[in-house]
């Protein structure tokens, strides 16, 4: 049986998961099949880390792509169907959620099995090919695979057989569940022409390319198509090639405890009914479905940002101001942005129960600004916050650069007094007080009376401070990854991360 392939020589890819080089044409069918069947997995022996260790560490790491239906930033705040669902699971088990964005050229299966993350949450269909390398949880969605045409092709073929006869190439990735379905159709002698592109291309970016006529057709899950069609012009739904595919999280094959806990969680939110009926979803899952696939404000503005949003920056409404102030103080503006996201989610009018105010939650008694009302001014507040952070960094200047920021962040959150207590406690336990992990452990001990009754500054909610530091550092890594994509695309004259779909 002979199948039709066409390979573009070059092209622009969406900055969300950008890569500009296309695959060269294969010289034989055997080479084509080797390419198409490969998930490019290199790490096949998973690390030993199951739910107990995740609980002890207090962090669940979620591997995902940067897209409107998985994880994205809107006005500096984190959103996404997968992000909110996994965050709910993490919260129920009292662990922090750390997002690991798949970078250019990175393989999610290798990232999972090497221990960079604990699950892949990316709207993944369970397929036999994927199950060779990872295990899957209980499903949390059912989707149909539909062909999506560009409106520029005229009258689109209405059936799968008509599509095969038309010779119109359907553009897709070789590691997608869509391609596996196409291979099944080939076995049934339905010769659909396929145009393979790099595995870094995601469904959303391919839909965009189809909407502007770069490609004639692609395949998408029906929920992703329906969400995209609300904000992308030029998309026409074609025939269904697969029905009721199960969407699930991927975990390591040896993470049976984690899978068990996730299955228990997902079963509370998604259950199959009798044949022919829609599955039963919890209210929470229905809300997420409405928000991300049926048209929420955040997703609409992700696709079609207003002029004011476009001017606000890629990460937050205050990118330009943060860069200016941080640069003048010699600080990394991405770290400052991450602190503000943690403190107030970029709300300049925020005020805490303790009296901390403004973007960076400045306590007036520690401020050099005498007029407290001025701390609600974004620039004044930002300069005060940066000044205080710099003081903490100077205070710990003798500490290794890797840990120095963690110490400064902890002091910013808990105060230098509690930090001094924690460091003394670390010494009492014969541990190096200049290593963050040791001090973090001591901060947790200061929540217990047997330790804090002998501490100079008394009780400390150490778990909050440890999480504060961990989440800021985690978000900082995400920001760096996003900006690396932005820089890459700027160098390649490709579209930017946000403000793109206008």
Quote the pLDDT of residue 490. 58
Within 157-291, strands assigned E span 170-173, 194-197, 217-221, 235-251, 270-271, 280-281
The CATH code that applies to domain 319-477 is 1.10.530.10
SS3 per-residue string spanning 440-474: HHHHHHCCCHHHHCCCCCCCCCHHHHHHHHHHHHH
- The percent of the chain in helix, strand and coil, each rounded to the nearest 5, is 45, 15, 35
What does the alpha-carbon distance between residue 109 and residue 333 come to, in Å, rounded to a whole number? Answer: 32
Q: Could you read off the pLDDT of 34-71 as tens digits, one per residue?
A: 444 458 899 989 999 999 999 998 899 999 988 888 99
Quote the pLDDT of residue 104. 74
Instruction: Please list the pLDDT of the chain residue by residue as tens digits (502 residues).
Output: 445 444 333 333 333 333 333 333 333 333 333 444 458 899 989 999 999 999 998 899 999 988 888 998 877 778 899 999 999 999 999 998 999 998 877 899 999 999 999 999 999 999 998 999 999 999 999 999 999 999 999 899 999 999 999 999 999 988 888 998 999 999 988 999 999 988 777 888 899 899 999 999 999 999 999 888 888 889 999 999 999 999 999 999 999 999 999 999 999 999 987 665 678 999 999 999 988 888 665 566 655 554 444 445 578 889 999 999 999 999 999 999 999 999 999 999 999 988 999 999 999 988 999 898 999 999 999 999 999 999 999 999 999 888 999 999 999 999 999 999 999 999 999 999 999 999 999 999 999 999 999 999 999 999 899 989 988 998 898 888 888 766 655 554 444 444 443 3
Element (H, E) at 321: helix 319-329
48 phi/psi in degrees, rounded to 5: -90, 100
Quote the pLDDT of residue 200. 73
The encoded tokens of residue 95 equal 């662990």
DSSP string, 222-239: HHHHHHHHTT-SSEEEEE
CATH top-level class for 51-141+247-299? alpha beta
Contacts of 306 (CB under 8 A, 6+ apart): none
Mean pLDDT over each residue of the chain, to the nearest integer: 85
- 51-141+247-299 and 319-477 share one fold: no
For the chain, give every domain's residue range: 51-141+247-299, 319-477
Quote the pLDDT of residue 272. 82
Quote the pLDDT of residue 304. 55
* Cβ contact 65:101 at 8 Å: yes
* Cβ contact 485:104 at 8 Å: yes
Quote the pLDDT of residue 126. 93
């Amino acid at each position: 049986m002979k199948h039709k392939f066409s390979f573009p020589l070059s092209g622009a890819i969406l900055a969300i998961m950008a890569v500009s080089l296309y695959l060269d044409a294969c010289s034989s069918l055997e080479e084509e099949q080797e390419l198409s069947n490969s998930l490019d997995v290199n790490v096949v022996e998973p690390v030993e880390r199951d739910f107990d260790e995740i609980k002890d560490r207090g962090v669940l790491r979620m591997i995902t792509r940067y897209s409107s239906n998985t994880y994205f930033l809107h006005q500096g705040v984190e959103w996404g169907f997968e992000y909110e669902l996994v965050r709910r699971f993490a919260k129920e088990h009292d662990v922090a959620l750390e997002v690991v964005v798949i970078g250019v050229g990175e393989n999610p299966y290798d990232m999972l099995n090497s221990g960079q993350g604990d699950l892949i949450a990316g709207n993944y269909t369970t397929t036999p090919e994927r199950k060779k390398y990872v295990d899957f949880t209980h499903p949390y969605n059912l989707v149909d695979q539909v062909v999506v045409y560009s409106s520029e092709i005229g009258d689109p073929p209405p059936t799968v057989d008509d599509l095969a006869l038309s010779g119109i190439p359907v553009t897709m990735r070789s590691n997608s569940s869509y391609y596996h379905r196409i291979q099944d159709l080939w076995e049934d002698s339905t010769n659909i022409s396929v145009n393979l592109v790099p595995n870094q291309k995601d469904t959303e970016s391919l839909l965009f390319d189809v909407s502007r006529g770069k490609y004639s057709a692609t395949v998408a899950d029906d929920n992703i198509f329906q969400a995209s069609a609300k904000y992308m012009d030029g998309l026409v739904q074609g025939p269904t090639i697969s029905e009721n595919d199960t969407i699930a999280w991927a975990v390591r094959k040896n993470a049976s405890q984690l899978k068990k806990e996730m299955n228990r969680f997902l079963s509370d939110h998604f259950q199959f009914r009798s044949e022919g009926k829609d599955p039963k979803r919890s209210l929470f899952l229905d809300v997420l479905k409405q928000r991300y696939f049926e048209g929420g404000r955040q997703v609409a503005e992700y696709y079609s940002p207003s002029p004011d949003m476009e001017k606000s920056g890629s990460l937050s409404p205050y990118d330009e101001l943060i860069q200016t102030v941080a640069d003048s103080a010699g600080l990394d503006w991405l770290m400052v942005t991450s602190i503000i996201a943690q403190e107030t989610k970029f709300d300049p009018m925020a005020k805490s129960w303790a009296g901390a105010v403004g973007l960076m939650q400045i306590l007036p008694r520690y401020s050099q600004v005498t007029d407290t009302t001025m701390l609600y001014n974004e620039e004044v507040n930002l300069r005060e916050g940066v000044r205080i952070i710099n003081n903490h960094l100077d205070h710990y200047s003798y500490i290794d650069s890797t840990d120095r920021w963690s110490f400064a962040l902890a002091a910013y959150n808990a105060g230098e007094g509690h930090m001094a207590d924690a460091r003394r406690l670390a010494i009492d336990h014969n541990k190096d007080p200049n290593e963050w992990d040791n001090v973090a452990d001591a901060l947790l001990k200061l929540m217990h009376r047997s330790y804090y009754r002998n501490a100079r500054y008394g009780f400390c909610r150490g778990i909050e401070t440890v999480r504060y530091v961990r989440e800021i550092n985690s978000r900082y890594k995400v920001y760096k990854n996003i900006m690396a994509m932005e820089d890459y695309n700027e160098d390649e004259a490709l579209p930017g991360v946000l403000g793109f779909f206008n």
